[in-house]
């Protein structure tokens, strides 16, 4: 007996194929409670005893045709060679609709097994099947499963080996469309047999006869069948002449539903309908004409609030952890042995990679929230509510789910656009999707916003950034729809699945997968670019400076440090601890922290004078140190590139540091943060580490901070996104057009904001 089998999973959208796929193969493909989660076929392998099985998960389809990208994939796989068995997954809580596809798959005469999935839901709705009778009717074995749990697919695993053993004498369902139509089908089938089409020799001609009779546009496109067209037309005319049919286009569909009704007449009983009722009650509010939109906005706001507020404390811990790690390494590893390696590890790796890992909690909470929306079934309601607005901008409700997924990561979001049947709407959606602010841009906002904006405005600023992305995307879509992708779309049809309580396990798994992906990215591409950037930021080292900074600093100290009398004035006031006094005596000046805390304690005039003296000295020294650092930095590779680019970036408020960070961000958006982390970690040399945000607040104005975010939001997406755009648009031209359009958009917008802001003096003062 054969030991290797290829099995295809076919069924309606959202019937739980992927859950079954995951349960059988142990894979962790993404599942969600909205139609169209699987957009391409995926293979997985598993074995029962010594039988090896390749399982192909197909996108969900309503009909075996090829009028959408998903149907195309499924059609190609099922009509291709080498499929030993089709597992037709059926949502058994809605059997009438689900079996429509079954009647078409059956015509392929490939051995079929029916998987009555979601049998727990069917039971709750009081649906009972006479499995024996149905097996006989469809000539196929039937198992009842609950795909969401491992135990639920056991009946399938138990039955499968025996089914595979008996594949050769597998029953073939002979479906009757009624004697009149069956005659026509046989007539056309015999004509097709006479054509002897090699390409489809393995598929029964009856399948194509049925498709031709219902004028299936894709079968009509197969040139080999052209000779039988006139026979098809004659048969349809004959059928309507004898009044067997009154509708030339949908009579096949009518007959199929009648066939299913006939099959269920004495093999199914139905009593209650509880779940759907609860679902309908929720929907009467959530998709309400009046409350629908406010509810949606509330959900979106809650999502962002949850992402940022709840993740904040954890981020603090991680940041502190990396700071301690860096300090720890510096304290045990003396600066004399391998100083370059020491700096590379503490400043380059910890500064760069650590700076990105800090934002892991944000990412996890965001994906948790998105998974919750997906798995509960709310996502398709949101699409329903938003369709009217989207349509005004040339998009549609179905564009909505991919756009929201774009907040997580643009790459899978662009893949998810395959659920949009209308080619023009799909292309428009893909082209504007990079404007949806993805999770990788989040660390940039999370870094910048608290550095420049007061606590009460932070959530609002974050909201504004996302909103700008959405608004620009919508305007862009409108522009595209009115120019390049002009034209009428396909008919819109979207199923709203019943609500389902997401299992905690699947939400956690989803988060865990995301965490792994993020850490993997941090450990590979971000680590590599951090090391490269560190090297570019450090070398070549400047040995000879334009001024002798070290002796200048020394002279400044000699001239300006505090005298014993000055220190006494401070200690007399009893404002400082003995330790602090000792430190002041040694340093000859007060630290910034000390000055800040003393000023709050209402110093008298004499003390105030000492503070001012100290501040004067501090600013002199830091000015010299900054000059020295700047001179050293400008000498490095990064500095040279940055300087070269500066004329281009200066009009939008970027210095050479930000310029190099924007270039690095092409590899991955998070690199923007790690580059700033490295640059400022090096800048501070061997002083105690000052959080990056404080460094930024000292060096940039809030206006510049805003310009950084705006530029990063609108500019070219990362390489991974560009690659998937190229693939999904199937065009290099579209990809390069995207690159130039976004670069121009980002540059012009940031330019206007920066210049107007500077002119009007909005946010042009340093915060600290």
Partner 1 sequence: MNKKPEKSKEPEGVDKELTLADLPVGASATIVKIIPNSRGEKKFADVGLVPGVELVMQAHAPFGGLIRVKVMETSMALHASDAKNIVMKKGSKKGEKTL
Tell me the angle at which helices 605-635 and 549-560 cross, rounded to the nearest 10 degrees.
180
Our CB check for partner 1 shows the closer of 218 and 314 to be 218
For tokens 């039955």, the residue is 159
Q: Which is nearer to partner 1, 104 or 362 (CB)?
A: 104
Q: Which is closer to partner 1, CB of 268 or CB of 522?
A: 268
CA nearest neighbour of 622 among 690, 693, 537, 673:
690
Complex with partner 1: residue 198 or 289, whichever CB lies closer: 289
Q: Decide: is 496 part of the binding site for partner 1 (CB under 8 A).
A: yes
Interacting span for partner 1 (CB under 8 A) from 3-11, 257-265, 350-358, 704-712:
257-265
Residue 567 within binding range of partner 1, rule CB under 8 A: no
Q: Are 638 and 604 contacting, i.e. CB atoms less than 8 angstroms apart?
A: no
Positions 96 through 125 that interact with partner 1 (CB under 8 A):
96-97, 100
Under the binding rule (CB under 8 A), the answer on residue 257 touching partner 1 is: yes
Residue from 249, 547, 623, 727 touching partner 1 (CB under 8 A): that is: 249
Nearest CA-CA partner of 311 in 367, 359, 372, 373: 359
Site for partner 1 in 370-429 (CB under 8 A): 380, 383-385, 387-389, 391-392, 397
Position of tokens 């004399």? Answer: 336
Q: Which is nearer to partner 1, 497 or 677 (CB)?
A: 497
Tokens coding 204: 């029964």
Between residues 284 and 563, which has the closer beta carbon with respect to partner 1? 284
Report residue 105 as tokens. 């798959």
Between the alpha carbon of residue 326 and those of residues 14, 344, 353, 357, 688, the distances in Å are 49, 11, 12, 14, 10
| Contact (CB, 8 A) for 746 and 469 | no
CB of 248 or CB of 459, closer to partner 1:
248
> Least CB distance from residue 728 to partner 1, whole Å?
23
Cα gap 705→763, rounded to integer Å: 9
Q: Where are the beta strands (DSSP E) in 22-96?
A: 42-48, 51-57, 85-91
Binding mask 511-550 vs partner 1 (x if CB under 8 A, - otherwise)?
Answer: ----------------------------------------
Q: How far is residue 342's CA from residue 335's CA, in Å, rounded to a whole number?
A: 7
Judged by CB under 8 A, how many residues of this single chain contact partner 1? 55
| DSSP per-residue string spanning 520-539 | HHIIIIIHHHHHHHHHHHH-
d(CA 467, CA 760): 24
**Looking at residue 348, what DSSP letter applies?**
I
Output 262 or 651, the one with its CB closest to partner 1.
262
Q: Give me the 267-286 binding string for partner 1, x by CB under 8 A, dash otherwise.
A: ------x--x--xx--xx--
Of the candidates 531, 523, 532, 519, the one whose C-alpha atom is nearest the C-alpha of residue 345 is: 531
Minimum Å gap between C-beta 257 and partner 1 is 6
Residue 88, interface with partner 1 (CB under 8 A)? no
- CA 195 to chain CA centroid, Å, is 48
Which residues from 159-178 bind partner 1, rule CB under 8 A?
Answer: 178
Written as six digits, the tokens of 560 are 């300006």
The CB-of-474 to partner 1 minimum distance in angstroms stands at 14
CA atoms within 13 A on the CB side of 318: 17
695 lines the binding site for partner 1 (CB under 8 A): no
CB of 393 vs partner 1, minimal distance in Å: 12
Residue whose pair of structure tokens reads 């992906």 in the numeric block: 517
Select 271 or 456, whichever has its Cβ closest to partner 1.
Answer: 271
Which residues of the shown chain bind partner 1 in the complex (CB under 8 A)?
Answer: 62-63, 65, 67, 93-94, 96-97, 100, 178, 214, 216-217, 247-250, 253-255, 257-258, 261-262, 273, 276, 279-280, 283-284, 287-290, 292-293, 380, 383-385, 387-389, 391-392, 397, 490-498
């Amino acid at each position: 007996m054969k030991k290797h089998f290829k099995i295809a999973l076919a069924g309606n959208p959202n019937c739980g194929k992927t859950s079954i796929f995951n349960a059988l193969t142990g894979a962790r493909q993404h599942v969600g409670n909205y139609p169209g989660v699987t957009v391409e076929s995926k293979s997985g392998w598993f074995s029962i005893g010594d039988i090896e099985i390749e399982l192909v998960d197909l996108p969900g389809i309503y009909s075996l045709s090829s009028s959408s990208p998903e149907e195309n994939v499924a059609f190609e796989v099922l009509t291709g060679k080498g499929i030993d068995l089709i597992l037709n997954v059926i949502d058994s809580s809605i059997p009438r609709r689900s079996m429509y596809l079954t009647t078409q798959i059956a015509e392929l005469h490939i051995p079929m097994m029916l998987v009555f999935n979601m049998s727990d839901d069917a039971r709750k709705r009081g649906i009972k099947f006479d499995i024996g009778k149905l097996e006989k009717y469809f000539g196929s074995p039937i198992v009842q499963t609950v795909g969401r749990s491992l135990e639920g697919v056991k009946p399938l695993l138990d039955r499968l080996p025996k089914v595979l053993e008996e594949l050769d004498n597998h029953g073939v369902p002979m479906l009757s469309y009624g004697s009149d139509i069956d005659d026509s089908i046989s007539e056309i089938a015999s004509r097709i047999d006479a054509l002897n089409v090699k390409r489809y020799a393995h598929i029964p001609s009856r399948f194509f006869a049925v498709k031709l009779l219902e004028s299936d546009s894709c079968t009509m496109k197969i040139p080999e069948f052209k000779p039988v067209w006139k026979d098809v037309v004659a048969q349809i005319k004959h059928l309507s002449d004898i009044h067997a049919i009154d509708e030339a286009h949908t009579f096949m569909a009518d007959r199929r539903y009648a066939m299913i009704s006939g099959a269920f007449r004495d093999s199914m009983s139905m009593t209650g309908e509880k779940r759907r009722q609860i679902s309908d009650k929720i929907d009467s509010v959530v998709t309400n004409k009046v409350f629908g939109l406010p509810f949606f906005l509330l959900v979106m706001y809650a999502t962002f609030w949850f992402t940022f507020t709840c993740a904040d404390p954890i981020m603090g811990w991680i940041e502190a952890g990396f700071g301690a790690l860096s300090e720890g390494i510096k304290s045990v590893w003396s600066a004399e042995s391998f100083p370059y390696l020491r700096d590379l590890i503490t400043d380059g790796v910890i500064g760069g990679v650590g700076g990105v890992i800090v934002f892991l909690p944000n990412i996890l909470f965001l994906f948790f929230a998105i998974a919750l929306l997906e798995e509960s079934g709310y996502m398709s309601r949101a699409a329903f509510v938003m369709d009217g607005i989207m349509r005004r901008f040339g998009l549609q409700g179905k564009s909505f789910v991919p756009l929201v997924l774009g907040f997580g990561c643009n790459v899978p979001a662009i893949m998810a656009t395959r659920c949009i049947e209308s080619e023009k709407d799909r292309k428009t959606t893909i082209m504007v999707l990079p404007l949806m602010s993805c999770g990788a841009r989040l660390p940039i906002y999370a870094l910048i916003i608290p550095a420049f904006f007061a606590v009460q405005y932070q959530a609002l600023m974050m909201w504004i950034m996302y909103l700008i992305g959405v608004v620009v995307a919508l305007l862009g879509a409108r522009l595209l729809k009115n120019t390049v992708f002009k034209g009428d779309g396909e008919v819109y049809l979207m199923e709203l699945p019943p609500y389902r309580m997401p299992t905690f396990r699947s939400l956690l798994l989803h988060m865990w997968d995301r965490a792994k992906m993020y850490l993997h990215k941090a450990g590979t591409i971000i680590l590599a670019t951090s090391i490269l950037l560190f090297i570019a930021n450090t070398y070549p080292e400047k040995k000879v400076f334009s001024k002798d900074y070290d002796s200048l600093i020394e002279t400044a100290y000699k001239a300006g440090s505090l005298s014993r009398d000055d220190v006494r004035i401070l200690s007399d006031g009893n404002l400082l601890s003995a330790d602090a006094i000792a430190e002041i005596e040694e340093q000859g000046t007060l630290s910034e922290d000390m000055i800040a805390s003393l000023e709050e304690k209402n110093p008298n005039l004499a003390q105030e004078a000492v503070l001012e003296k100290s501040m004067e000295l501090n600013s002199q020294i830091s000015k010299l140190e900054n000059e020295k650092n700047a001179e050293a930095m400008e000498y490095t590779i990064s500095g040279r590139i940055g300087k070269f680019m500066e004329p281009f970036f200066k009009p939008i408020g970027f210095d050479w540091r930000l310029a190099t960070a924007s270039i690095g961000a092409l590899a991955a958006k998070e690199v923007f943060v790690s580059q700033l982390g490295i640059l400022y970690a090096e800048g501070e040399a061997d002083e105690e580490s000052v959080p990056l945000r404080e460094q930024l607040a000292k060096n940039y104005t809030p206006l510049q901070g805003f310009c950084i975010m705006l530029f990063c939001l609108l500019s070219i997406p990362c390489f991974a996104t560009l690659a998937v755009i190229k693939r999904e648009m199937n065009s290099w031209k579209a990809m390069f057009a995207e690159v130039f359009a976004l670069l121009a958009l980002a540059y012009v917008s940031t330019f206007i904001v920066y210049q107007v802001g500077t002119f009007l003096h909005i946010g042009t003062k340093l915060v600290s």
